[in-house]
Amino acid sequence: MRRRRYLALAGTSLTTLGGCLSDTGTDAGESSTPTSQSTTETSPPTEDTATPTANRSVSVRFDALQPALVRLNTDAFYIDTGDSSSLFLDIRVDGDPLSRDEFSFALAGESHAPWSEETANRFFRFDDREGYSTESGTGLLVFELPRGVDPPLPEATLQWPDGEWSPDDELRRRLGAAPPELSLSVDAPGTLEVGTAPSFRLSVTNEGNVPGRFIAGLNRSGLKYASYALEKFSTLVPDGETTTIEYTDESITGEEVATEARGDGEHDVEYDFVTVRGTIGQDIAYDAPET
């Protein structure tokens, strides 16, 4: 038996969930198997190389614009959101180095500094991407930017002492708009036969008129763990379209459930999809073996 649950998403609401939460995360270990959170957008990359002097060239590529961040607190993912969006830019400096604090992002007449190295390192330790390093001259810069600025197509530039980069009109339109409304439905099993891994189908619909990024974390409880940070999702959804995400938790098959606990009317494992709007939970029970 499969069940479908729905949730309307917006980019401005905080998520609250049970479990162990703290101000800082810990190194990823046995309790989590995260994947990269900042995934390159599917729209054509915007790139420009500035060579104002013979001693340095700077390449900039748009990576992602996210309404929230999925963070890890010991053994559970949670959503870190507020009144800002996070802009990820992939930087490469060849020649004379540039430090992190020599970059700034100007949006609608206001200048914004990138994340500090300390903040970036705390976030990127859970991902396969790296924050910008002065030594290597490569990596991601992250800027916290206001939502819904005037005008709707604002002036926007990444600036450094001897050059600048400007995003294309599509990204400027997204920077000027509030994150679009997204609706989420989760198709998940209610019961399973022993030997079957739980599979899920997420359908995310963009109700707005600009592309939007779907952000979520998946936590699991039951069996060996009171809380287990299982997976992170970061997917661009074009305006007016629906994107489908398939996910299977191949780490369990029901063999872990004690024989006497199968088919007892109680759920054996619980999954929580944590989003910017709230949490969709799904209990799953394994059937008793046939006799």
Distance CA 176, CA 247 (A): 33
- What pLDDT score was predicted for residue 258? 84
- What pLDDT score was predicted for residue 283? 94
The two most distant CA atoms of the chain are separated, in Å, by 79
- What pLDDT score was predicted for residue 260? 81
Contacts of 240 (CB under 8 A, 6+ apart): 206, 209
Q: Which of 252, 284, 273 is nearest to 202 (CA)?
A: 273
- What pLDDT score was predicted for residue 35? 34
Query: Exposure pattern of 30-39 as b/e (b: 16+ CB <10 Å)?
Result: eebebeebbb
Compute mean pLDDT per 10 residues along the chain, 291 residues long, and list them.
Answer: 55 28 26 36 47 77 93 89 89 95 96 91 71 93 93 95 95 94 94 94 95 95 88 95 97 87 85 92 85 53
Distance CA 164, CA 50 (A): 7
- What pLDDT score was predicted for residue 262? 84
- Measured from the Cβ of residue 220, the count of other Cβ atoms closer than 10 Å reads 21
Distance CA 101, CA 113 (A): 7
- Measured from the Cβ of residue 183, the count of other Cβ atoms closer than 10 Å reads 16
Residue tagged 């995400």 (tokens): 245
Chain Cα centroid distance, residue 167: 21
**Which helix (H) or strand (E) is 122 found in, with range?**
helix 117-124
- What pLDDT score was predicted for residue 24? 26
Distance CA 66, CA 214 (A): 8
Distance CA 145, CA 64 (A): 13
- What pLDDT score was predicted for residue 121? 76
Pair 38, 64: CB distance under 8 Å: yes
Distance CA 257, CA 172 (A): 51
Distance CA 29, CA 120 (A): 19
The reported pTM is 0.78
Pair 154, 183: CB distance under 8 Å: no
DSSP 254: S
Question: Phi, psi (5° rounding) for residue 159?
Answer: -125, 145
- What pLDDT score was predicted for residue 289? 65
Chain Cα centroid distance, residue 209: 21
